[in-house]
Amino acid sequence: MQRDFSFELTYQDAQTHARCGIIHTPHGDIETPAFVPVGTQATVKSLNVDELKELNVHMFFVNTYHMYLRPGLDVIQTFGGLHHFMGWDRPIITDSGGFQIFSLGRKKYSHSLNQLGSIAVPAGRQDSRNQVVERDQNASPVLVKISDDGVEFQSHWDGTKHVFTPERSMEYQWILGSDIHIAFDDCTPYGVKYEKAKRSMERTHAWAKRSLIRHQELSKNPAVAKALAGNQEPGTKNKELSSKNKVYQALYGSIQGSVFEELRKTSAAFITSLPFDGFAIGGVSVGESKEEMQNVLDWVMPMLPEDKPRHLLGVGEIDDIFALIEHGVDTFDCVQPTRLARVGRLYSFGEDKKPCEVDITKAVYAHDKGPNDEGCQCYTCTHVTRGYLHHLFKTRELLGYRLATIHNIFWIQSLVSQIRLAIREGRLVALKNAWL
Ligand SMILES: [Zn+2]
């Protein structure tokens, strides 16, 4: 199998740790730093793939947990992977499923399984990564039981029981066929004590090794089908996995350790000692302050090897973007731009020329003939008025969600594109000062 995944560092900023590069994948290149929109259910809501390409999206994020439950991996396998299923021929990144299991679940202590103890996760907790707003509000409470072997949980849709292990997570992502996979990790919620965070980090490290072993077996062994035949899951029944026509799929190790310096550094040292293709920083954007998130980056980023790509999971609000890029993050995913768009909040600039969110549902915009953002060249800002957008949102017309999503993605892409240029021209700090 051709191992055509690599990272090319093209420019290093002299004043900060920001860098420009290119991630080469079998489905094309990703110019970094790059914002990665989230397409939880195999769709960046309301946009088709050609529109995403016009918006200069080179990779988007799909959640393994959601694909596993619906449509089910047997369906994805029938279509030959997510790329064919969605009609998207550019790179895809998937997560391990762990974060969704933990964030959509409600943990319950189990003497037989749970050695970590009970951690309360409010079922309706919202943060910038989990998908609670898309959850069926009438769904029954779900349970999550953690053991060193893996995680047992109940579907947030129908209450059926399922088990994810590091090995299964690798197999599921292999079936999805995403270009970048993430190792299965134990995601602690914000606020856990040191001892629990340490226990969770140790489990993440054990799972990282198991993920890597399974991933390497899947990547190297053309007779993978045989190995999986005895390990059939509801999602893979009656189907054999085949390496035929499979291109190389990369695996990123996940660094955990909550908000504790010692744990984060231990985790960075351990995970980077393993031969992963890149590294993901997990366990952020789970309720910690922005200062705490930046502390994590301060501790972890200098320990990561320069020649491999780094992904920050679930962070990407406007005021985070400069900070994370200055720390040397290459790619980052965030639901914020698309989620805000669907509630009528569009990025723009205020009278002070600083970034702001316009709540287009406010009555003040009903007669506004101006565009959402004078300087924006997106389809929405060059074709429709604030007054029309206001009307679409007040009447809950689908076009409103589409137009707002187009604008917010374009706007973020434009910012990140300006940042890439500024890094290459040595004026990143000046650009930041002009923006923030
Ligand atoms: Zn626009």
Residue 348 and residue 429 in one domain: yes
Question: How far, in Å, is the centroid of ligand 1 from the Cα of 88?
Answer: 24
416 CA from centroid of ligand 1 (Å): 15
Contact status, residue 350 vs residue 356, Cβ threshold 8 Å:
yes
What pLDDT is recorded for position 155?
84
Same domain assignment for residues 158 and 284: yes
pLDDT at 221: 66
**Exposure b/e, 23-50, CB count within 10 A at least 16 = b:** bebbbeebbbbbbbbbbbebebbbbebe
With beta carbons less than 8 A apart as the criterion, state whether 141 and 74 touch.
Answer: no
Q: What pLDDT is attached to residue 68?
A: 96
pLDDT tens string for the chain (436 positions)? 455 899 999 999 999 999 999 999 999 999 999 999 999 999 999 999 999 999 999 999 999 999 999 999 999 999 999 999 999 999 999 999 988 887 775 433 332 333 333 333 333 333 343 333 333 334 444 578 889 999 998 887 888 899 999 999 999 999 999 999 999 999 888 899 999 999 999 999 999 999 999 999 998 865 554 445 444 443 444 445 555 567 889 999 999 999 999 999 999 999 999 999 999 999 998 889 999 999 999 999 999 999 999 999 999 888 899 999 999 999 999 999 999 999 999 999 999 999 999 999 999 999 999 999 999 999 999 999 999 999 999 999 999 999 999 999 999 999 999 999 999 999 999 999 999 9
Q: Return the bridge partners of 357, or none.
A: 347
Q: Residues 41, 123: one domain?
A: yes
Q: Name, in order, each residue with C-beta under 8 angstroms of 99's C-beta and a sequence gap of 6 or more.
A: 65, 129, 130, 187, 282, 313, 314
* In-domain check, residue 254: yes
Q: Tell me, what's the pLDDT at 228?
A: 52
With the C-alpha atoms ordered 91, 329, 339, 392, is the resulting torsion angle positive or negative? negative
In terms of domains, do 310 and 400 share one? Answer: no
Amino acid residing at 35: F
Exposure class string for 265-293: b at 16+ Cβ within 10 A, else e: bbbbebbbeeebbbbbbbbbbbebeeeeb
Q: How far, in Å, from the CA of 388 to the mean position of ligand 1? A: 14
Residue 87: predicted pLDDT: 98
Backbone angles phi, psi at 213, to 5 degrees: -60, -45
Q: Output the CA 208–ligand 1 centroid distance in Å.
A: 41
Report the greatest alpha carbon distance in the chain. Answer: 65
Alpha carbon separation from 39 to 47, 101, 117, 334, 338 (Å, rounded) = 10, 17, 33, 10, 9
Paired tokens of 99? 């974060």
182 and 291 part of one domain: yes
Written as six digits, the tokens of 149 are 């072997």
For residues 291 and 431, state if they share a domain: no
Taking the centre of ligand 1 as the mean of its atom positions, its distance from the CA of residue 169, in whole angstroms, is: 38
* 1 located within any domain: no
Rounded to whole angstroms, how far apart are CA atoms 71 and 235? 9
Whether the link from the prior residue into 71 is cis, omega within 30° of 0, is yes
CA torsion, ordered 51, 52, 58, 61, to nearest 10 deg: -160
Q: How far apart are CA 383 and CA 367, in angstroms?
A: 16
Ligand 1 center to 47 CA (angstroms): 15
- The CA 412 to ligand 1 mean position distance, Å, reads 10
| Cα–Cα distance measured from residue 236 to residue 112, given in angstroms and rounded to the nearest whole number | 27
Would residue 333 show up in a list of annotated catalytic residues for this protein? yes
CA–CA separation, 282 vs 277, rounded Å? 16
Q: What are phi and psi of 327, to 5 degrees?
A: -85, -5
Q: Is 224 within 8 Å of 241 (Cβ atoms)?
A: yes
Q: What is the DSSP letter of 80?
A: T
pTM of the predicted model as reported, rounded to 2 decimal places: 0.89
Q: How far is the CA of 63 from the centre of ligand 1 (A)?
A: 27
Question: Which of residues 309, 334, 359 is at a domain's end?
Answer: 334
Sign of the dihedral through C-alpha 122, 125, 130, 135: positive
Claim to verify: residue 241 and residue 350 sit in the same structural domain: no
Q: Select from 291, 318, 334 the last residue of a domain.
A: 334
What is the span of the domain harbouring residue 406?
341-435
Determine contact, residues 45/401, Cβ cutoff 8 Å.
Answer: yes
CA of 44 to the centre of ligand 1 (A): 17
CA of 375 to the centre of ligand 1 (A): 8
Catalytic residue among 277, 330, 333, 373: 333
- The number of domains in the chain is 2
Identify whether 127 is a catalytic site residue. Answer: no
Does 228 fall in a domain?
Answer: yes
Q: How many residues does the chain have?
A: 436
Two structure tokens written together for 110: 């189990």
**pLDDT recorded at residue 342:** 97
Residue 428 is which amino acid? L
Catalytic residue among 13, 95, 185, 277: 95
Task: Using the 3D structure, point to which of 305, 334, 363 is the last residue of a domain.
Answer: 334
Residue 241: per-residue pLDDT: 55
d(CA 74, CA 239): 7
Q: Are residues 129 and 157 in the same domain?
A: yes
Indicate if 239 and 157 belong to the same structural domain: yes
10 and 98 assigned to the same domain: yes
- What are the backbone angles phi and psi of residue 212, rounded to the nearest 5°? -65, -45
What pLDDT sits at residue 129?
A: 39
Looking at the structure, tell me whether residues 318 and 406 fall in a common domain.
no
- Residues 249 and 302 both lie in one domain: yes
In the structure encoding, which two tokens stand for residue 423, read together? Answer: 């890094």
What residues have a C-beta under 5 A from ligand 1, the ion?
376, 378, 380-381, 407
Distance from the CA of 384 to the center of ligand 1, in angstroms? 10
CATH number of the structural domain spanning residue 51: 3.20.20.105
Q: Look up residue 403 and give its amino acid.
A: L
CA of 354 to the centre of ligand 1 (A): 16
pLDDT in the model for residue 242: 55
Residue 301 is given by DSSP the state G
Paired strand residues for 19? 12
